[in-house]
Amino acid sequence: MTAARVAIVTGKYLAFARAAARRALAERTVLIGRSVFLGVILFAFSRIWHVIGASSALPGAGERELVWYLAVSEWSVLSVPPLFLAIEAEVRSGDVACRLVRPVGYVGSQISEAVGEAALRLAVLGPSAALFAWALSGGFPADPRGLWFALPLGLVATLIAILFMAAIGLSAFWIIDTSPFFWIWQKLTFVLGGLLFPLELYPDWLQRIAHATPFPLMCWAPARMALGFAPRQALGSALQGLLWVGILIGLLVVMSRRARARLTVSGG
Amino acid sequence: MALRPTLRFARALVATNLRASLALRGAFWLQAAFMVANNLAFFTTWWLLFARFHDIGGWQLRDMMTVFGVVASGFGGSVVFGGGARRLSRMISDGGLDPLLVQPKPVLLHAVGSASTASGWGDMTTGVGMLYLAGRLDFETLPFVLLAAATSATVFVAVAVLFQSLAFWLGDVEQLSRQLWEFTLTFALYPRPLFSGGISFLLYTLVPAGFAGFLPVEVVRQPSLLLCLAALAAALGWWLLALGVFALGLRRYESGNHFSARG
């Protein structure tokens, strides 16, 4: 593929992302609702750490760090648009057949739209999360330098989640209703990903299981940066994250080929 | 309004919805089973927290299982038997109440009972399982458990009707009403001792998680006649409020000029 061709293809997908971001910006009530929801969850869990006495929770991390941990993990998770629903709706209605004949990859365009929307959500929810965390915990973490690493790791986390959502959405070609898959994936992300509190608080055996999966990369990896300055850990998480991005793209290529074949066989 | 025909109609609605849910047998079982798995995965978070700290504001894991048992049962019941409540705002803003208004049956009951969510059976199964594991399903406590689940479900449906009825005045409020309802569920699933003062007041008014969760849970945790009466009064009060607000809003309802047949 020549450089000019790459530029054209990239331009097409960027146009999809920009259009989706503009659409998401127009839906202000959804954005405000998500910000408020984030604040509500942060409030509820800040109460838990307050009641427990967070000093006994994790050595080196107090109530303030744990609230910031949750703020970062919720920021990553709530920024992911429900891409699987969009794909499922098009498969159900049959509209996917019209999308497939366009001169742009179906899955690629869907992912681009989700990335555009996620970028906007990250930009809006980031300051909201920081503001709520600051207000509820009374300041920044003891060593706030780690928060800088949370930004790129949050982007990688969101990208991994979008790719997973695309895979769940594509499963609609086989099972029609993808919600059950989503629920399970979402809850695995919550539990094995360490959404609500750091994996370090889990029993050792469960920590080992969690780290053998990609789920911590979507929550724990960026959020862990709120607990202290850990550049080596950040680099390791980023590399692991990129590896999983590659694996998931490979999976999506295989799934979309099979889905296309299945659609042709059944007549769309 | 005669009570007996209304009850007969309600029973017929429930039966029709059940048949409709079970018509797609595979999807029904899949949704219910996955919801059980989903709930158990969610509860794992609390299990991990209690395994580490044993006590949160004087509550132990057994108390949390009771919370989950009562609220999951109540919530499940509300979406199985009153699944239409969550669609009210859309019906109101799109003029979707038209076909119901020309029927000789109570509009709200018809709208609320016009849909059933299969995953709610998974919620109810989880709830019963949790209550069993928490040791709350013995012969003496069973009536209290049933009362708690029923009042919780009633409050969930009433609150959904209230939030969704805002559409009569504010137009399309689907997102807002859904969000407020989810806040109610979210807070109902937390241990009550976490909240006090002004927040506690909010949780018994604007986001009535206190009546959908805290109070019914106390009926099971510390059964007493007074708590039972309080839970019943709360459920009745919220239902009457929902009925009143819906009736008030219905006077402002504008037809969507929908021509459709409804059996």
Give the position of tokens 């976490």: B194
**pLDDT at res. B20:** 83
Q: How far is CA A261 from the centre of its chain?
A: 29
Which tens digits make up the pLDDT trace of B47-85? Answer: 998 988 888 888 999 999 999 999 999 999 999 999 999
pLDDT tier for residue B106 given thresholds of 50, 70 and 90: confident
Tell if the CB–CB gap between B194 and A47 is shorter than 8 Å: yes
Please give, rounded to a whole number of angstroms, the shortest distance from the CA of A52 to a CA of chain B.
6
**pLDDT at res. A219:** 95
Alpha-carbon span B177 to B206, nearest angstrom? 12
Its pTM stands at 0.82
The residue of chain B nearest to residue A178, with distances taken between CA atoms, is B31
8 Å CB contact between A10 and A112: no
In 3D, which of A139, A161, A160 has the Cα closest to residue A63? A139
For residue A187, give the nearest of B38, B51, B175 by CB distance.
B38
Judge whether B182 is closer than 8 Å to chain A, CB to CB: yes
pLDDT tier for residue B153 given thresholds of 50, 70 and 90: very high
Could you tell me if residue A60 is left (phi over 0), alpha (psi between -120 and 50 degrees) or otherwise beta? Answer: left
| Residue B255 clears pLDDT 80, i.e. is over it | no
* Arithmetic mean of pLDDT, A131-137: 94
Which tens digits make up the pLDDT trace of A175-226? Answer: 777 888 888 898 899 899 999 889 998 999 999 999 999 999 999 999 999 9
Structural tokens at position B38: 């989903």
The residue of chain A nearest to residue B186, with distances taken between CA atoms, is A41
Tell if the CB–CB gap between B41 and A206 is shorter than 8 Å: no
pLDDT tier for residue A1 given thresholds of 50, 70 and 90: low
| Residue A161 clears pLDDT 60, i.e. is over it | yes
Residue B257 burial class via C-beta count within 10 angstroms: exposed 0-12, middle 13-18, buried 19 and up: exposed
ipTM metric: 0.75
8 Å CB contact between A162 and A108: no
Highest mean predicted confidence (pLDDT) among B3-7, B29-33, B112-116, B140-144: B140-144
Number of inter-chain CB pairs under 8 A, A vs B: 82
DSSP summary character for residue A216: G
Judge whether A70 is closer than 8 Å to chain B, CB to CB: no
Alpha-carbon span B42 to B44, nearest angstrom? 5
Measured between alpha carbons, how far is residue B105 from residues A201, B10, B158 in Å?
A: 55, 10, 19
In degrees and rounded to multiples of 5, residue B173 shows phi and psi of -120, 25
**pLDDT at res. A30:** 78
The residue of chain A nearest to residue B52, with distances taken between CA atoms, is A201
Structural tokens at position A144: 């706030």
Please give, rounded to a whole number of angstroms, the shortest distance from the CA of A1 to a CA of chain B.
44
| Residue A31 clears pLDDT 70, i.e. is over it | yes
The residue of chain B nearest to residue A179, with distances taken between CA atoms, is B31
Which percentage of chain A shows pLDDT scores above 70?
96
**pLDDT at res. A268:** 44
**pLDDT at res. B262:** 56
8 Å CB contact between B249 and B169: yes
DSSP, collapsed to helix, strand or coil, labels residue B206 as coil
Average pLDDT, chain B: 89
* Arithmetic mean of pLDDT, B208-220: 94
8 Å CB contact between B41 and B95: no
Which tens digits make up the pLDDT trace of A83-115? Answer: 998 898 888 888 888 877 777 888 999 999 999
**pLDDT at res. A40:** 86
In 3D, which of B32, B26, B60, B220 has the Cα closest to residue B126? B32
pLDDT tier for residue A51 given thresholds of 50, 70 and 90: confident
pLDDT tier for residue A264 given thresholds of 50, 70 and 90: low
- Count Cβ atoms below 10 Å from residue A224 Cβ, excluding itself: 26
Tell if the CB–CB gap between B186 and A197 is shorter than 8 Å: no
Best probe of the A interface among B45, B170, B207, by most A CBs < 10 A, is: B45
Tell if the CB–CB gap between B34 and A180 is shorter than 8 Å: yes
In 3D, which of B248, B208, B252, B20 has the Cα closest to residue B113? B20
8 Å CB contact between B134 and B62: yes
